[in-house]
Amino acid sequence: MQLTSFTDYGLRALIYLASLPEGELTSITKVTDTYAVSRNHMVKIINKLGQLGYVETVRGKNGGIRLGMPAGNIVLGHVVRAIEPLQIVNCAPDFCNITPACQLKGILADARNAFLNELDKYTLLTLVDNNPPLRVLLGLPAEH
């Protein structure tokens, strides 16, 4: 299973924001520069994360973006469920003529659920807490 780039960069953006001091604002440009991703793509990602409450956007001259809730409250499985199209295969009868007898779709659904259940064991805080090498790689000060 491979996550879409939308979900991949959504998680990366959250990691970046969680690595900042609590409440600190940053810009979408800093996030896009850090990951060398299209600004247009990141704007769409941040917009979606904002709609879901994971990111707070502050408009105006001194505006920016920051986490919309504590990193310890952001469960990775919940984020992936909210932004990732989780259909692994197309089982529509007009697409696949063995759908009525196929057992693959159930097996793949079990595998997807196991994947998501594993992600549910971790929060965003798990990824950033006590991780100075991550801060260095993100170009952030070693301590906050």
What single-letter amino acid sits at 102?
C
Residue 102 is labelled as binding a ligand = yes
Structure tokens at 117: 């259940």
Residue 31 is labelled as binding a ligand = no
What single-letter amino acid sits at 123?
T
Residue 96 is labelled as binding a ligand = yes
- List the binding residues for [2Fe-2S] cluster: 91, 96, 102
- List the binding residues: 91, 96, 102
